[in-house]
Amino acid sequence: MTAASRQMFRYGGWVFDVDRARRLLEEHPRAVEPTPVADWSDAYHLSLLRPDYDGPPWCPVFGPDQSHFNVDHAMRTDLSKPVTIATMDFDGAPALLLIDGVHRMYRAMTEGRPTLPAHVLTIAETATIREH
């Protein structure tokens, strides 16, 4: 797989290799957990991502930017495919970060679904998919 085709998730200065996370999940299967759509929608400001937006591109502190979001794609996503959540250590407490599934989360929000299936990576697993 070439660098150009790798799926990455960027959060500030951190970069997470989503393809590596998928391989890790294939090698180490785990149970799917429900994750609340409303919580992620609020945290990622998904209600602001609208197809009729015609202002300048914006990038919230937390979540996707308007210029890289495709509503048509979001509405065709497979909601049965689990999203991927990374776990980071912040000041001695775990903190969750949705690294794969923003388009699915948007569709679930617009359809009023309460939860989506999720795979949650451990802190140690997250460290192995974070680019340094």
Query: pTM of the entire structure?
Result: 0.86
Listed residue (48, 60, 53, 76) closest to 10, CA to CA: 60
In order of start, what are the domains of the chain with their CATH numbers? 8-25+32-131 (3.90.1530)
DSSP 85-118: EEEEEETTEEEEEEEE-HHHHHHHHHTT-SEEEE
Distance of CA 53 to the CA centre of its chain: 22
pLDDT at 63: 55
Residue 80 in tokens: 């049965």
Q: Average pLDDT per run of 10 along the chain, which is 132 residues long?
A: 70 88 96 96 82 57 61 93 95 92 94 98 97 82
pLDDT at 86: 96
pLDDT at 2: 47
pLDDT at 1: 44
pLDDT at 9: 87
